[in-house]
């Protein structure tokens, strides 16, 4: 949907997404590319980062989306930083919060506040290879197939209920960078598809079983 001047108009029914990202932001870019289509059902209304140099900030700016830097360096301790993140996200009144390459652990209070509405993408087939080095660990283990996982966040590290997964073969000669780039192609597609479906159809959670629609 667009105004006569060509600017996108927020659909009243679109779910409000706040995206947290620490790095280059290619997953954010994929969500921003999807959200201009009113039929997508979700719209990125805010971007929050812990990293003042995050590429995500430029992407948000170019897309006309508000962004906030909440750097741990600006807070006297971890608890104060977490309160800062929590407030920065809350002002956008999100329906869903998407962690798209957000490389810090959020406090249990944040996780509880957005329980069932906090979605993470991880570059491995969970429950294998959780943590910050999912691609490196999969490669070191010698697996022949890895991939990506979109999951709800609980208070553990990459332990929440799985929403969707996509497999990516490991090829002879792969190094971490090569494999991660191929995973990220699958990851962007999976994240965009999954978040859109959640926004349009709703998410039903029974223990570890998650169903969309
Ligand atoms: C993704 O693979 C994400 O799962 C991982 O870091 C990468 C972030 O990529 N935690 P980008 O910043 O979205 O390009």
Judgement on whether residues 83 and 157 belong to the same structural domain of the protein? no
Judgement on whether residues 172 and 78 belong to the same structural domain of the protein? no
117 annotated ligand binder: no
> What is the DSSP-derived secondary structure letter of residue 190?
H
Domain end call among 94, 114, 134: 114
Non-local CB neighbours of 193 within 8 Å, separated by 6+ positions: 164
Rounded CA-CA distance 47/123 in Å is 21
Judgement on whether residues 51 and 148 belong to the same structural domain of the protein? no
pLDDT digits (tens, 9 = 90+) for 143-156: 999 999 999 999 99
Report the pLDDT averaged over residues 52-74.
Answer: 97
Report the pLDDT averaged over residues 119-144.
Answer: 98
Report the pLDDT averaged over residues 170-195.
Answer: 98
Report the pLDDT averaged over residues 123-148.
Answer: 98
- How confident is the model at residue 12, as a pLDDT? 59
**With a 6 A CB cut-off, is 121 part of the ligand 1 pocket?**
yes
- Give the CATH number, domain containing residue 137: 3.40.50.170
Domain end call among 66, 81, 114: 114
Going from the Cα of 187 to the center of ligand 1, the distance in angstroms, rounded, reads 8
Judgement on whether residues 104 and 131 belong to the same structural domain of the protein? no
| Catalytic option among 7, 76, 122, 180 | 122
Place 33 in a pLDDT band, splitting at 50, 70 and 90: very high
Q: Is the pLDDT of residue 7 over 50?
A: no
Domain end call among 84, 114, 144: 114
Residue 180 annotated in active site: no
Rounded CA-CA distance 147/167 in Å is 4
Judgement on whether residues 104 and 189 belong to the same structural domain of the protein? no
Number of structural domains, the chain? 2
User: Are 28 and 21 spatial neighbours (Cβ–Cβ below 8 Å)?
Assistant: yes
Rounded CA-CA distance 53/83 in Å is 21
Q: Is the pLDDT of residue 4 over 50?
A: no
pTM score, whole prediction: 0.93
Name the residue of 184, 190, 191 whose CB sits within 8 Å of the most ligand 1 atoms, as the mutation to test its pocket: 184
Rounded CA-CA distance 201/70 in Å is 32
Residue that has been written with the tokens 């919060």 in this structure = 97
What b-and-e string marks burial along 117-152, b requiring 16 or more CB atoms within 10 Å of the CB? Answer: bbbbbbbbbbeebbeeebbbbbbeeebeebbbbbbb
Q: What is the mean pLDDT of the chain?
A: 94
Judgement on whether residues 71 and 149 belong to the same structural domain of the protein? no
Write the residue with the smallest CA distance to atom 4 of ligand 1. Answer: 122
Judgement on whether residues 145 and 190 belong to the same structural domain of the protein? yes
Q: Which helix (H) or strand (E) holds 26?
A: helix 26-35
Judgement on whether residues 1 and 19 belong to the same structural domain of the protein? yes
Q: Is the pLDDT of residue 10 over 60?
A: no
Q: Is the pLDDT of residue 5 over 50?
A: no
Judgement on whether residues 140 and 94 belong to the same structural domain of the protein? no
Q: Is the pLDDT of residue 9 over 70?
A: no
Rounded CA-CA distance 63/105 in Å is 27
Q: Is the pLDDT of residue 203 over 80?
A: yes
- How confident is the model at residue 199, as a pLDDT? 97
Judgement on whether residues 132 and 208 belong to the same structural domain of the protein? yes
- How confident is the model at residue 47, as a pLDDT? 98
**With a 6 A CB cut-off, is 98 part of the ligand 1 pocket?**
no
Q: Which domain holds residue 192?
A: 120-213
């Amino acid at each position: 949907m667009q105004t006569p001047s060509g600017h996108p108009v927020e659909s009243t029914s679109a779910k409000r997404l706040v995206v947290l990202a620490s790095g280059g932001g290619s997953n954010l870019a994929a969500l921003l590319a999807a959200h201009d289509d009113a039929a997508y059902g979700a719209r990125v209304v805010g971007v929050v980062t812990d990293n003042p140099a995050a590429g995500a900030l430029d992407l948000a700016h170019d897309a006309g989306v508000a962004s906030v830097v909440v750097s741990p360096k600006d807070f006297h301790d971890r608890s104060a930083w977490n309160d800062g993140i929590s407030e920065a996200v809350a002002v956008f009144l999100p329906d869903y919060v998407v962690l798209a390459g957000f490389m810090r652990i959020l406090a249990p209070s944040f996780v509880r506040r957005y329980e069932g509405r906090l979605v993470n993408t991880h570059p491995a087939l969970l429950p294998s290879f959780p943590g910050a080095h999912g691609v490196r660990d999969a490669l070191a283990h010698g697996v022949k197939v890895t991939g990506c996982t979109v999951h709800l966040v609980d208070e553990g590290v990459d332990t929440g209920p799985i929403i969707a997964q996509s497999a990516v073969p490991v090829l002879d000669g792969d190094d971490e960078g090569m494999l991660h780039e191929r995973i990220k192609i699958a990851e962007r597609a999976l994240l965009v598809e999954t978040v859109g479906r959640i926004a349009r159809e709703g998410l039903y959670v029974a223990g570890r079983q998650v169903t969309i629609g």
